[in-house]
Amino acid sequence: MSKPTITQVFKSVLSAFIGVQSEDSRKKAFEQGSLSTYIIAGLICTILFVIAVVSLVSVIV
């Protein structure tokens, strides 16, 4: 088993973030990768999402 690349980690996190990741994909990702990698990627995606929402609201208002 090889470790997932950074691209694969973010792809997995983004698909889980929007709720379209399959159970098999999730199991495969966590069996091959480390939990800390996915937590860090999830935090980065969450921060970017919050920044995007705040920016969009600022532009609209």
pLDDT tens by residue, the chain, 61 residues:
678 888 888 888 888 888 888 888 878 877 888 888 889 999 999 999 999 999 999 999 9
pLDDT of residue 22: 83
pLDDT value of residue 16: 86
Give me the pLDDT at residue 58, please: 96
b/e string for 35-61 if b means 16 or more Cβ within 10 A? Answer: eebbeebbeeeeeeeeeeeeeeeeeee
